[in-house]
Chain A
Amino acid sequence: MAQLFRPSANSLAKIAIGGALILVCSTIGIAYVIDRGPWITDVGVAPVQPIYFSHKHHVKDDGIDCRYCHSSVENSSSAGIPPTETCMSCHSQIWNNATVTEPIRQSWATGKSIEWTKVHDLPDYVYFNHSIHIAKGVGCSTCHGQINEMPWVYKVNTLYMNWCINCHRNPGAYLRPKSEVFNMDYQMPANQASLGAQLVKENHVQSLTDCATCHR
């Protein structure tokens, strides 16, 4: 009988099978990479803020303590975003007619809040509490990175659940002495292992991986 297919069909058939497999795998792979990449996680992406406010300048150059602005970080779930008042406490004196600080004066005059864009944003069903982490010796920079080096603040961690769990399973690996919590340039010592173990004991740090720790 006459052939229905050319000899090449044989190789084509086999290539098609292989190709299909490769296609499926690569699609999954690419999707995964995108999902974990900055486009989705915003890691390393600094959003534009209403005011060109440089943490680098205020923290590193001027040496202002975190708690001067984020005043409730030690006793509340929320670190607190400074009210315009706080800005004005300095900027009524210095740079009090610079264009950069104009929005502050605007807000102060009109009583209208400055609307910042949220950088570190957890889903609504996640209940995070700053104060307890501070109390147990988790440094600011452990999660937020070296803010003091950031002109525009950006996320250095995904804040995904697996990232949280990673520390909650083994807090010792990330703890620092309470005195160092607000030290932005803190580097983990070589003996972190032993230090961590000791801090865990001293500060009664537990490994909390219950759902209800964060989800209520």
Chain B
Amino acid sequence: MNEITVFPILQEQQQQQEESTRQPVDIGALREKLAAGRGPAFWRTLDEAAETPELTEYVEQEFPGLSGQIPEGVDRRSLLKVMAASLAMAGAAACTKQPKELIVPYVRQPENVIPGLPLFYATATTTNGYARGLLVESHLNRPTKVEGNPDHPASLGSTTIYEQASTLSLYDPDRSQTVMKEGRISNISEFTGALSSEAQSIAGRKGEGLAILTGATTSPTLMAQMNAILAQWPAAKWYVHEPGVNPAVKSAANKIAGKNAFIAYDFSKADVVVSLESDFLNSGPAALVYARQFAAKRGIDKGQEPVRLYAIESSPSVSGSLADHHLAVKSSAIPAIAYQLAAKCGVSAPAAGADVPWVAAVAADLQKHKGSSIVIPGEFQPESVHLAAYAINAALGNVGTTVKLLEGVEPEGTHSLEDLANDLNGGHVETLLILAGNPVYAAPATLNFEGAIKKARMVVRLGQYFDETSRWSHWHVPEAHYLETWSDARAFDGTATIMQPLIEPLYAGKSVHEILTILLAKPDNSSHDIVKANWQAGYKGGDFDAMWKTSLHNGTVDGTAAAVIAAGPAVALPALGTSEANFEIVFRPDPTVGDGSWANNGWLQELPKPQTKVTWENTVYVSTRDAEAQKLSEGDVVKITVNGKSVTGPVFVVPGHAAGSATIFLGYGRTNSGHVGTGIGYNAYAIQDGATPYVAVGAMVKTGDKVKLANTQEMQTMADRAPVRAAEWTEFKEHPNFPTAEEPSVPKELTLYPNQWTYEGYKWGMSIDLNICTGCSACAIACQAENNIAVVGKDQVTRGRHMHWIRIDRYYSGNLDTPEIYNQPVPCMHCENAPCEVVCPVAATVHSQEGLNQMVYNRCVGTRYCSNNCPYKVRRFNFYLYSDWQTESMWGMRNPDVSVRSRGVMEKCSYCVQRIQEAKINTEKQGRRIRDGEILTACQQVCPTQAISFGDLNDPNAKVTKQQALQRNYGLLDDLNTRPRTTYLGYVKNSNEALRGQRG
């Protein structure tokens, strides 16, 4: 009978939802929250924020035509455009009067908040439940930029793309802003009342019929709360769903240890690594640590032999792009290969399939490196592979050295989404609390969760967006962003972090703790109280407040690291079923928007996917062979069918992809994801089978349609040029100067002009080590966050107008089936003989005394000549007014130290000049020179493998100086005598003689 009541509501719900998203956020409220944001240093951004008529006028006079244009297709601003143009004309009349501007000081200025000086707070965010420590930059209580916390074991100072993008999500105007009751705007007290009274009846039922669904979590506080609830109501049930997590990983670990455990690897001791379709450098709770350790082992400049990586995977992953040997096999064939490898390494494994000769060589190599090798199973491989991998590691004596069993930090005894669906359908659930995730969208189609959810009498949904699930929930409560609330979480190694808010909830969002506390009959407790109380309760030591303060300050809680535990009794490898499919469909979270929770994040949508460089949609990866067989080329739409259900999507032919396999990506095809993420791409969940969620038997048929992909890199090969220069480890030992061996760089004296410019003071330069660049693209998005780079949208990307200041070029070489894959990050080269500067008629781009190639937006008239004459094509042009000057909530997000660009001006990488200037001012005040490492560019700071180094080339001890002195250092296109300040270190791979040539 609920359906009947819910259905009519839906119509209104949609309208409501659309209206509520269309309504501009209440800037008054925002201002209240940001009361701090009224300080003087804030004049710049806040008065933009206060977009008064004077301001618009003022802006017009300073940046004529600023509000001139936004990308096509947005009509509600047409008036503004016209206004802008007329004002722009006014701007032409050189002499214009500055309008009146206001200063809005504090009434009571908070302690230690000094206008103009940013503060950094330690906190953490969670990915699939595991913590990643962060330092968040706050300008007058507005979080503007996220950095990794160097002291946090799971971050080491780096982050992935998601942490970087999270600031945009915080200020996303599409976030739900009010409590909704059956689609109508309600308020929090009404909700609290309703849930409290519901709690009464639940109590009456001893919790019977109460179902609580959370995401994967490691939060001690949340677990304490849940345990309390389960204790007071034994019949209640806790379900956990995380679409991007394969439960087999956990179950395998638990089986091996005989208890709750986590398998951690130590790459700093590994000489040979075999990846069984694992993207260990880019995904998983410890990816950043692994990347750092792996990169260190791959370092060759001290003469040690670099780690050798064998990647066995169906489609090239970020980690796979660094592999020395690459075996492209179907995902479903990997268990068999794992077993063969196990057998060859002396593990008693059931016979599995025909021998793959390649495996023998790998096994031999592993045997050579007992105790210093790692076999790492894929995140989405079945339990058998995880067990086999551990068995191999055990057999090779890696356990204890490179492989560790740690106490698990995730809760035990929780139920899965399948259980929930069954319970719902069985009518066992009356009250359903969905405290995370978006199951109506992100559940395998076979569960038909949309049907199941209607069976519950009361569905409460806590979420940041009014999305697919909210539409079917009786109550929707806006969820607080992690930067808005208190919580806690633990890293893969157990280390706990107390997550502190950087800003009051912008839209009165609630945390999961604040919902659960209602069930615990303490509805008024704030997150802060709950979290603090929980820690206080569990704290044995003396001065709690001191511990609390230091923990907050450091971003970690001492003594919380998990203990190493011994393995339980050996687990026999289960026999394999007829695993290998004739044609398999592989399901993976999208490389940028993940499981779909990031769908409304413009930065992630526009971030080129590491392998394909496609933006704004998910494609179907197919192998070159299948492409030939079906005459498929980039953009051809195919129909993917898995037991009866099918979706259509454009293909992308991926060299190095396994034949007989197609990889499709979750996270797209959202129907309720706000203005950015709705209605793009196909929804892979719609054909996902709960039984075989990650690889399924299926079919792929060409439909005949073709679409244009928003692809930022059309050319796949290096076209007989050598932007990336690579060598074998053996060659490198003989010719350490291999990158410049063929084309020696142009002699400096080869010029008509006497060089009158000597860079005596500072001399900034950058060095990028191609050998350890995984192409994860964190640098691109960190740059976007630091430098207020605009999002241009799919149409503009398709026209070749994306704005990234640093792009990651990806080249293939060798044969089509198993090619070499190279990644090359390309920022501005800051050439000493910059071709762009010479051709600018208004001196809008000139060199600084320190050799920076400065781009002066406010002087630029937009001839685009500089870009034409830039051999590296690193310049980006504002063809329209790309920067969003209209959306109020966005103003808070911008970095106040970087101009927001207007229409018609050129922009490009500035080496993060704002950071350079800040450092110079600080050191000048202290009367000293800048030390190496004191300035980190955004891309350098975020890089998980530390592939980018930046510094003063006049400082002989600077890392960058040393790197540029290396023999494998070379400048891109330096035969043009542009004398780039950004140089590269050649790529060296350490392949196995036994297999040489087989990797292509």
Direct contact of A and B (CB under 8 A): yes
Interface segment among A53-61, A70-78, A144-152, A189-197: the answer is: A70-78
Q: A116-B102, A118-B102, A215-B856 are in contact. Are A132 and B107 (CB under 8 A)?
A: no
CA distance A213 to B98 in the complex (A): 23
CA distance A1 to B62 in the complex (A): 62
Residues of chain A lying within 8 A (CB to CB) of residue B105: 81-84, 113-114, 116
- Interface size of B as a range: 35 or more
Residues of chain B lying within 8 A (CB to CB) of residue A124: 44, 48, 59, 62-63, 899
| Residue on B nearest A129 in the bound complex, by CB | B921
Interface segment among A3-11, A31-39, A90-98: the answer is: A31-39
A10 CB, min distance to chain B CBs, angstroms: 38
A85 CB, min distance to chain B CBs, angstroms: 5
Residues of chain B lying within 8 A (CB to CB) of residue A213: 917
Interface segment among A19-27, A104-112, A162-170, A179-187: the answer is: A104-112
| Residue on A nearest B926 in the bound complex, by CB | A135
CB–CB A211/B898 < 8 A: no
- Decide yes or no whether B39 CB sits under 8 A from chain A: yes
- Decide yes or no whether B748 CB sits under 8 A from chain A: no
| Residue on A nearest B97 in the bound complex, by CB | A40
CB–CB B62/A78 < 8 A: no
Residues of chain B lying within 8 A (CB to CB) of residue A107: 107
CA distance A205 to B459 in the complex (A): 67
Residues of chain B lying within 8 A (CB to CB) of residue A108: 107
CA distance A130 to B38 in the complex (A): 19
Residues of chain B lying within 8 A (CB to CB) of residue A83: 105-109
Interface segment among B318-326, B447-455, B844-852, B935-943: the answer is: B844-852
Q: A75-B117, A132-B924 are in contact. Are A123 and B102 (CB under 8 A)?
A: no
Residues of chain B lying within 8 A (CB to CB) of residue A116: 102-105
- Decide yes or no whether A157 CB sits under 8 A from chain B: no
B720 CB, min distance to chain A CBs, angstroms: 38
CB–CB A212/B917 < 8 A: yes
CA distance A123 to B97 in the complex (A): 12
CB–CB A131/B925 < 8 A: yes
| Residue on A nearest B853 in the bound complex, by CB | A212
A27 CB, min distance to chain B CBs, angstroms: 13
| Contact among A72, A76, A84 with B107 in the assembled complex (CB-CB below 8 Å) | A84
CB–CB A125/B848 < 8 A: no
Within 877-902 of B, Cβ neighbours of A (below 8 Å) are at: 897-899
CA distance A121 to B108 in the complex (A): 24
Main secondary structure of the interface of A (DSSP, over half): loop
CB–CB B114/A111 < 8 A: no
CB–CB B917/A78 < 8 A: no
CB–CB A216/B38 < 8 A: no
| Contact among A35, A78, A123, A125 with B39 in the assembled complex (CB-CB below 8 Å) | A78
| Residue on A nearest B921 in the bound complex, by CB | A132
- Interface size of A as a range: 35 or more
- Decide yes or no whether B863 CB sits under 8 A from chain A: no
CB–CB B94/A35 < 8 A: yes
Residues of chain B lying within 8 A (CB to CB) of residue A81: 39-40, 103, 105
- Decide yes or no whether B380 CB sits under 8 A from chain A: no
A-B pair count, CB < 8 Å, reads 146
- Decide yes or no whether A198 CB sits under 8 A from chain B: no
Residue-by-residue, is B217-253 near A (CB-CB < 8 Å gives 1, otherwise 0)? 0000000000000000000000000000000000000
CA distance A10 to B910 in the complex (A): 63
CB–CB A211/B103 < 8 A: no
| Residue on B nearest A79 in the bound complex, by CB | B40
- Decide yes or no whether B100 CB sits under 8 A from chain A: yes
B3 CB, min distance to chain A CBs, angstroms: 49
CA distance A76 to B140 in the complex (A): 13
CB–CB B913/A212 < 8 A: yes
| Residue on B nearest A136 in the bound complex, by CB | B924
CA distance A80 to B584 in the complex (A): 64
Q: A78-B116, A204-B924, A210-B849 are in contact. Are A216 and B103 (CB under 8 A)?
A: no
- Decide yes or no whether A52 CB sits under 8 A from chain B: no
- Decide yes or no whether B558 CB sits under 8 A from chain A: no
| Contact among A31, A115, A131 with B921 in the assembled complex (CB-CB below 8 Å) | A131
CB–CB B858/A215 < 8 A: yes
Residue-by-residue, is A136-156 near B (CB-CB < 8 Å gives 1, otherwise 0)? 100000000000000000000
Q: A215-B856, A216-B899 are in contact. Are A113 and B927 (CB under 8 A)?
A: no
CB–CB A35/B95 < 8 A: yes
Residues of chain B lying within 8 A (CB to CB) of residue A115: 102-104
Q: A72-B114, A76-B41, A124-B62 are in contact. Are A47 and B107 (CB under 8 A)?
A: no
Q: A83-B108, A210-B849 are in contact. Are A76 and B115 (CB under 8 A)?
A: yes
Residues of chain B lying within 8 A (CB to CB) of residue A135: 924-925
| Contact among A35, A72, A85, A118 with B43 in the assembled complex (CB-CB below 8 Å) | A118
A62 CB, min distance to chain B CBs, angstroms: 20
Residues of chain B lying within 8 A (CB to CB) of residue A215: 854, 856-859, 899
- Decide yes or no whether B914 CB sits under 8 A from chain A: yes
- Decide yes or no whether B301 CB sits under 8 A from chain A: no
| Residue on A nearest B913 in the bound complex, by CB | A212
Q: A75-B114, A210-B849 are in contact. Are A112 and B107 (CB under 8 A)?
A: yes
- Decide yes or no whether B101 CB sits under 8 A from chain A: yes
CB–CB B849/A118 < 8 A: no
Residues of chain B lying within 8 A (CB to CB) of residue A114: 105
CA distance A129 to B897 in the complex (A): 11
Residues of chain B lying within 8 A (CB to CB) of residue A117: 100-103
* 20 A-B residue pairings within 8 Å (CB atoms): A31-B95, A39-B97, A47-B100, A76-B41, A78-B116, A79-B40, A80-B39, A81-B105, A85-B106, A115-B102, A116-B105, A117-B100, A118-B102, A121-B98, A131-B921, A135-B924, A136-B924, A210-B849, A211-B854, A211-B859
Q: Closest 7 A-B residue pairs measured CB to CB?
A: A35-B95, A83-B106, A76-B116, A77-B116, A210-B848, A78-B116, A81-B105
Known: A40-B97, A118-B101. 20 other contacts (CB 8 A): A35-B95, A40-B95, A75-B117, A77-B116, A78-B43, A81-B105, A83-B105, A85-B108, A117-B100, A123-B98, A124-B62, A127-B917, A129-B921, A132-B924, A135-B924, A212-B852, A212-B854, A215-B899, A216-B899, A216-B914
Q: Which residues of A contact B (CB under 8 A)?
A: 31, 34-35, 39-40, 42, 47, 72, 75-85, 107-108, 111-118, 121, 123-125, 127, 129, 131-132, 135-136, 204, 206, 208, 210-213, 215-216
